[in-house]
Amino acid sequence: MVPFLWMVRSSLMRPQDIFSVPAIIVPWPVHLENYPDFWNSLPFGRFFANTAIVTFTATIGLTLSSALVAFGFARFRFRGRGFLFLLVLATMMLPKHVTLLPTFLLFRSIGWIDTLLPLIVPSLFGSAFSVFLLRQFFLTLPLELDEAARIDGASSFRIFWQIAVPLSKPAIATVALFAFIGHWNEFLDPLIYLSSMENFTVALGLRFFVSQYSGTFWELMMAASTAAMLPIVIVFFFTQRTFIRGVALTGIKG
Amino acid sequence: MPRLRLRWRDVEPYVFISPFMIGLVVFIIGPTFASLVLSFMRFEFVRPPEFIGFDNYAEMFAGDPKVWISLWNTVYYMTGHIPLGMAMAFFVALMLNQKVWGQALFRTMYYLPSVTASVATAIVWSWVFNSRFGLLNNFLSLFGIPGPQWLADTRFAMPALIIISLWGMGSTIVIFLAALQGIPESLYESSSIDGAGRIRRLWHITIPMMTPAIFFVLIIQIVGSFQVFTNAFIITAGGPGDATLFFVLHLYNKAFVALRLGYASALAWLLFVIVLVFTITQVVAARRWVYYEGEVT
């Protein structure tokens, strides 16, 4: 925790006080001006908006698709199920760097370079990890509920949407949160796909910021880092119970 | 009797799983094969692509010492990061599993760094390890210890990255904690009645019951170690020298700095094969030491 606290502390200080000896532990009076200073030095508002767009659309799409797919694997018997599920699991072993370059060329050929689309679209098809997690959870739901609903004439989709999803809130929240965090923090994809500053995400903007002021303006860098982490910290703070319960509930036994 | 008409209930399951299956073909299977094809080509944007057989692979094994440097760096990183991280996470999980006051708070505190791990934390760490202005060396100097140059010293840059990596052990802790809480209390009770002490219970109940979790984490960590990128890119950029040139960093440089996509694809395939070999070895070895209670799905 110490580096965290030090970061927040330093973000609230004047540059000449940061390195004073003996060290000042509690910054008082606080100097909030570092925040507007860093914010205005680059279009950070734009970076945050871009990141929010990517994170929200990708998270919603990923969670929804993964849940559908997981329900398909958990609740139906069909030809090829075992093999296809194995295929899903196998993709978790594939390093993303194997598909990175052809995917880059694919997006390049359809003119999506320097847009946010390459950061969003692949997630809309779900992720193997989420499918796995949700399938494990759906398997624990009693089949009697499905049967009762089916007798009442409910379609599979209705059973999915009105029974399975509401009963799986902790697992779905876990998946959504993982997706949210993953997309917010993602660095490699923005790095290779985005080139003009108005399209940067926070991670990329931050890196650009550092490369500009390397070795100086620590107080601004710490303010920028604090701001970049803040959404994650807030989300985590409010969801941690669901989140950790979700991890524990879904378990890790395959 | 062959049915010609498709019934909805036969098609329905495939409709449910179709999102992932479409994504699988477009973004995973397709690109994987494309990458294999690319790895046999010279593909450098500036001139038309050309089939060159095994030239990329020959260069990788014989003409590019950085491949070996980056692989060695990765192994070095793994030997520090995995045992230390697992041991610490195990210890913390054991501590947190005691019904201590503020368990939830501690769990949050330990987990937080692994969700914020990104460019922002990398920046904070590069400051902590800064030799002149860094927190760490200033702290050491309080005790009269002159701190090393850390990130600017070929001997200390990698240890610094390993120390930094330990900060992200929160997810391992959560997994271990979940596994610990899944161990039936009755096992401990009956062993207590049989007179087993704390150490014996740890060795004969806790650790065997934890092996699936340990195994899971081990695989994740090995696969993850081969894919370190952000920290190395931001904090050290592979330097000093090539002391922290990780494999994926090398791949990135070849693909997006040197713009040699064919060669970089060959590197990606080498990575894939290495990860696969490690994983298969682990899975085979796991039969000897991982204990699954009941049946395995």
Contacts of A113 in chain B (CB under 8 A): none
- Tens of pLDDT along B19-29? 999 988 898 88
C-alpha Rg value of chain A to the nearest Å: 22
Portion 70-99 of B in contact with A at CB < 8 A: none
Contact A224 B120 (CB under 8 A): yes
Q: What is the dihedral of CA A121, A123, A128, A131, to 10 degrees?
A: -120
Q: What pLDDT does residue A67 have?
A: 94
Q: Distances from the Cα of B15 to the Cαs of A24, A71, A175, B211, in angstroms?
A: 61, 11, 21, 37
- Residue A247: the pLDDT is 60
Mean pLDDT of A25-45: 76
Say which range, A94-108, A183-197, B63-77, B170-184, has the weakest mean pLDDT: B170-184
- Helices A2-11, B119-128: axis angle to 10 degrees equals 90
CB distance A236–B23 less than 8 Å?
no
**CA-CA distances (angstroms) from residue B238 to B59, B62, B67, B68, B69?**
21, 21, 13, 14, 11
Amino acid A252: pLDDT = 43
For residues A2-10, give the mean pLDDT.
Answer: 73
> In the predicted model, is pLDDT for residue B230 greater than 70?
yes
Interchain proximity A99–B31, CB inside 8 Å: yes
Residues in B closer than 8 angstroms to A71, CB to CB, are: 16
pLDDT reading at B295 higher than 50: no
Q: Identify the band that residue B122 occupies on the pLDDT scale cut at 50, 70 and 90.
A: confident
Any CB–CB contact under 8 A between A24 and chain B? no
Let me know if residue B187 belongs to a domain. yes
Number of CB atoms found within 10 A of residue A216's CB: 10
Number of domains in chain B: 1
Pairwise CB contact (< 8 Å): B115 & A188: no
- Of the pLDDT bands very low, low, confident and very high (cuts 50, 70, 90), residue A44 is confident
Residue contact B230–A188, C-beta within 8 A: yes
Q: Comparing A34-38, A160-164, B14-18, B252-256, which segment has the lowest mean pLDDT?
A: A34-38
pLDDT at B187 over 60: yes
Tens digits of per-residue pLDDT, B4-20? Answer: 677 877 888 888 999 99
Count of Cβ atoms closer than 10 Å to residue B288 Cβ: 6
Q: Distance from B205 to chain A by nearest Cα, in Å?
A: 17
**Assigned domain for B199 exists:** yes
Query: At residue A193, does pLDDT exceed 50?
Result: yes
A-B Cβ pairs (cutoff 8 Å, strict): 214
Cross-chain residue pair A122–B27, CB shorter than 8 Å: yes
Answer yes or no: are the C-beta atoms of B209 and B293 closer than 8 Å: yes
Position A20 scores a pLDDT of: 64
Q: Which of A14-23, B131-140, B261-270 has the lowest mean pLDDT?
A: A14-23
Which residues in chain A are contacts of B114 at CB distance < 8 A? none
Question: How far is the C-alpha of A134 from the C-alpha of A172, rounded, in Å?
Answer: 7
Nearest CA in chain A to B130: A215
Q: How far apart are CA B205 and CA A183, in angstroms?
A: 39
Rg (C-alpha) for chain B, rounded Å, is: 24
Q: Lowest mean pLDDT: which of A154-158, A194-198, B22-26, B172-176? A: B172-176
How large is the average pLDDT for residues A176-190? 88
Mean pLDDT over B44-53 rounds to 80
At B144-173, the pLDDT tens digits run 777 777 777 778 888 888 988 888 787 788
Partner A, chain B 172-201, Cβ-Cβ below 8 Å: 174-175, 177-179, 181-182
Q: Cβ of B156 under 8 Å from any chain A Cβ? A: no
Q: What is the pLDDT of residue A72?
A: 92
Residue B25 covered by a domain: no
Quote the CA–CA distance of B278 and B163 in Å, as a whole number.
24
Least confident of A85-94, A121-130, A142-151, B113-122: B113-122
Task: Give the alpha-carbon dihedral of A21, A25, A31, A36, to 10 degrees.
Answer: 100
Q: How far apart are CA B290 and CA B207, in angstroms?
A: 10
Is B45 at the interface with chain A, CB within 8 A? Answer: no
Q: Is residue B98 part of a domain?
A: yes
Residue A73 has pLDDT above 60, yes or no: yes
What average pLDDT is seen over chain B?
83
Res A28 pLDDT > 70: no
**B97 domain-assigned:** yes
What's the pLDDT at A238?
81
In chain A, what percentage of residues exceed pLDDT 70?
87
As a three-state string, the secondary structure of A143-186 is HHHHHHHHHCCCCHHHHHHHHHHHHCHHHHHHHHHHHHHHHHHC
Within-domain flag for B20: no
Query: What are the tokens at A50?
Result: 């871009």
| Poorest-pLDDT segment among A67-76, A113-122, A233-242, B278-287 | A233-242
Q: What is the ipTM of this complex?
A: 0.83
Mean per-residue pLDDT for B68-92? Answer: 91
Indicate whether B193 belongs to any domain. Answer: yes
> Chain B neighbours among A 218-247 (CB < 8 Å)?
218, 221-222, 224-226, 228-229, 232-233, 236-237, 240-241, 244, 247
Determine contact: B232 vs chain A, CB below 8 A. no
**For residue B124, which residues of chain A lie inside 8 Å, CB to CB?**
3-4, 6-7, 222, 225
Position B4 scores a pLDDT of: 62
Query: What domains, with CATH codes, occur in chain A?
Result: 2-143+169-250 (1.10.3720.10)
How confident is the model at residue A36, as a pLDDT? 78
Q: What is the mean pLDDT of residues A89-109?
A: 88
% pLDDT > 90, chain A: 20
Q: What percent of chain B has pLDDT over 70?
A: 95
Is A254 an interface residue toward B (CB < 8 Å)? yes
Residue B88 belongs to what domain range?
57-289
Q: Give the per-residue pLDDT at B73.
A: 92
pLDDT for res A16: 67
The pLDDT of residue B297 is above 50: no
pLDDT of residue A1: 62
CATH of the domain at B167: 1.10.3720.10
Residue B49, both tokens: 């692509």
